[in-house]
Amino acid sequence: MKLIKELKGGSLSKTQVIKNGKSFFVRKKISISREREYGLVRWQSQIRKLQTLYNYLPNNTLPIINMGYENDNYFFDIPYLQNSDNLYEALKKGISPKLITKKVLDIIKLMTKKKYISNKGSLQVYIIEEIKRPILKALDANELNKLKLSEKEKNILQQKLINSLKKVDLLIDKFKETELFECLTHGNFTLENALWNYEEENIILIDPYGETYCETILGDISQLLQSSESGYEFISQLADSENFDIIEYPIQRIPDFLKVFSKELIAGIENEVWYLEDITILLHASQFTRMFPFKLENNPRQGGLFINHGINLLESLKC
């Protein structure tokens, strides 16, 4: 076996393209001992999700072909799709946003046909864990100057964080009895976590994960909006190259191909019986609060930028 290249990994994992004879496969490795809560637990969840998705969506998912142990890592292998890019890169290279949105909507409609029993109150748990707790963590980190912000940014963000907790407590109470439509989901459906197969003009789902405490398709929608309407991948790259004010989220710089995708996405689902605008906004906001603990360790200034954007999204909700 020969290592061909390293791919972008996430959540402490390592993703490699390996050649074995004349065939290629992708190996996803995770440390057995290091930060198991954020690494191994997520890796295990991906395996279970991949198995479920492949069972129901074999044309849009890759099968697990092998698992094992290597040095201080566990691994699983999936086939390597050579002529492909993730959806963000495919859009960036000029593939029609309307075409990709149509294919995404086709997958979403297939997933909603696999309906689950809903769990009342799961949204309340999600808000506490993925919105309130990160905001409290951000308050402490910002007060201790861990975010590498200017004094002006620090003071503005601190006040916004404090004010947001009042809104969050009202939301926790508002949604305590909520029962969402639940079905098969990807669980981490960003534009980076799906591949565009150029030869077949087809989407292949990768890196799924159970992230929302309930299997709501609105979670998948919110993650696609995180990538498109909020331009997460684009803004992340921008923030790596420029040092701009974190309080002014540069939404006006998001490329048109992402704006078209987000508009087409909403147009394609807004009449569905399961679509709820306020909960979609809530979950969209949560994608930027829930990443804060990880950002704090790896890129604290971006942590401040994105949690501030999440708070701005929450402000549009009525309690």
Q: Are residue 45 and residue 162 in the same domain, yes or no?
A: no
pLDDT at 125: 94
Q: How do 14-20 and 66-70 pair as beta strands? A: unpaired
CATH number, domain containing residue 76: 3.30.200.20
Residue 196 confidence (pLDDT): 98
Taking Cα atoms as reference points, which of 271, 272, 182, 257 lies closest to residue 227? 257
Give the range of the structural domain holding residue 214, as residue numbers without chain letter: 85-314
Same domain, 73 and 96: no
Quote the pTM value.
0.94
Q: What's the confidence (pLDDT) of residue 11?
A: 56
149 plus 45 within the same structural domain: no
Same domain, 188 and 118: yes
How far is CA 63 from each of CA 44, 58, 79, 80, rounded to the nearest angstrom? 15, 8, 7, 11
Helices (H) and strands (E) counted in the chain, each on its own, are 12, 10
Total number of domains constituting the chain: 2
Q: Are residues 9 and 107 in the same domain?
A: no
Domain boundary among 36, 60, 80: 80
3-state DSSP assignment of residue 220: helix
User: Please, what's the b/e burial string for 90-109 (b: 16 or more CB within 10 A of its CB; e: otherwise)?
Assistant: bbbeebebeebbebbbebbe
How does DSSP assign 30-61, residue by residue? EESSSSTTTTHHHHHHHHHHHHHHHHH-TTSB
Judge if 165 and 200 occupy the same domain: yes
Residues 93 and 68 both lie in one domain = no
User: At which of 80, 113, 141 does a domain end?
Assistant: 80
Domain of 261, CATH number, reads 3.90.1200.10
Q: Are residues 160 and 18 in the same domain?
A: no
Contact indicator for 121, 177 with CB cutoff of 8 Å = yes
**Looking at residue 81, what is its pLDDT?**
93
Last residue of a domain, one of 40, 63, 80: 80
Residues 49 and 90 in one domain: no
Examine the domain organization and report whether 62 and 210 are in the same domain.
no
Q: Classify residue 319: in a domain, yes or no.
A: no
Residues 129 and 165 in one domain: yes
User: Which residues of the chain are under the pLDDT cut of 70?
Assistant: 9-12, 211-212
